[in-house]
């Protein structure tokens, strides 16, 4: 069975991408894995700050994920299989590792549309995913809704096009 991974940080943008992925999964007969990576909070001051423990971070992550999963199961009325995965670490590193272990059909992510200055200083998980993941990454802008796919745009660098074109993926979308 095809699997779609949906990284989430529980923001409205990632929840919109989750809804998009659920509708896509229903359309192509896939399951959905909700993915969240949480990190150890780091204090950048010399003043002692009461921080949250690792166990509390894990518990909060699992609670939010359970709520998100339950809401999506209710929304889809059980028409698709929904799983969840919580991991400790950097989002893209953990996502890349997870993708290598399960070989998903695609990763569906939301994007906030960061400006060039924000990307320069803050980076972007979506841009990093595009650069580092070896599976197709589908980017969902804020407010987008899923419609059956009839056309696709294919970008390439015109190097080794025949060898690197994901023909099997395109055939799975358009049987």
Q: Is pLDDT above 60 for 117?
A: no
Q: Is pLDDT above 90 for 69?
A: yes
Structural contact between residues 120 and 19, judged by C-beta atoms closer than 8 angstroms: no
**Quick one: average pLDDT of 50-56?**
75
Closest CA to 34 of 5, 62, 1, 14: 5
- Using pLDDT thresholds of 50, 70 and 90, give the confidence band for residue 72: very high
Q: Is pLDDT above 70 for 89?
A: yes
3-state SS record for the chain: CEEEEEECCCCHHHHHHHHHHHHHHHHHCEEEEEEEEECCCCCCCCCCCCCCCHHHHHHHHHHHHHHHHHHHHHHHCCCCCEEEEEEECCHHHHHHHHHHHHCCCEEEEECCCCCHHHHHHHCCHHHHHHHHCCCCEEEECCCCCCCCCCCCCCCCCCCCHHHHCCHHHHHHHCC
Residue 59 neighbours by CB distance under 10 Å: 12
Instruction: For Cα atoms 52, 128, 143, give the angle at the middle one, nearest 5 degrees.
Output: 85
Distance CA 101, CA 86 (A): 15
Burial 86-104 (b: 16+ CB within 10 A, else e): bbeeebbebbbebbeeeeb
Average pLDDT, the chain: 84
Q: Extract the tokens encoding 99.
A: 């993708």
Closest CA to 7 of 98, 107, 128: 107
Question: Taking the domains of the chain in order of start, what are their residue ranges?
Answer: 2-144
State the fold for domain 2-144. Answer: Rossmann fold (3.40.50)
Residue bearing the bigger pLDDT, 44 or 168:
168
């Amino acid at each position: 069975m095809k699997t779609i991974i949906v990284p989430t940080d529980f923001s409205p943008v990632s929840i919109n991408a989750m809804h998009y992925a659920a509708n896509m999964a229903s359309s192509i007969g896939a399951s959905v894995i909700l993915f969240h990576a949480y990190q150890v909070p780091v204090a950048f001051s010399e003043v002692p700050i009461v921080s949250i423990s690792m166990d509390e971070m894990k518990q909060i992550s699992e609670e939010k994920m359970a709520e998100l999963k339950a809401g999506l199961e209710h929304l889809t009325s059980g028409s698709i299989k929904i799983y969840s995965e919580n991991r400790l670490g950097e989002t893209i590193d953990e996502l890349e590792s997870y993708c290598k272990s399960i070989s998903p059909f695609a990763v569906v992510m939301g994007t906030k549309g960061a400006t060039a200055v924000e990307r320069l200083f803050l980076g972007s998980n979506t841009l990093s995913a595009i650069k580092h993941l070896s599976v197709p990454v589908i980017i969902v802008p804020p407010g987008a809704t899923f419609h059956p796919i009839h056309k696709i745009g294919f970008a390439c660098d015109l190097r080794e096009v025949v060898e690197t074109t994901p023909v099997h993926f395109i055939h799975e979308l358009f049987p």
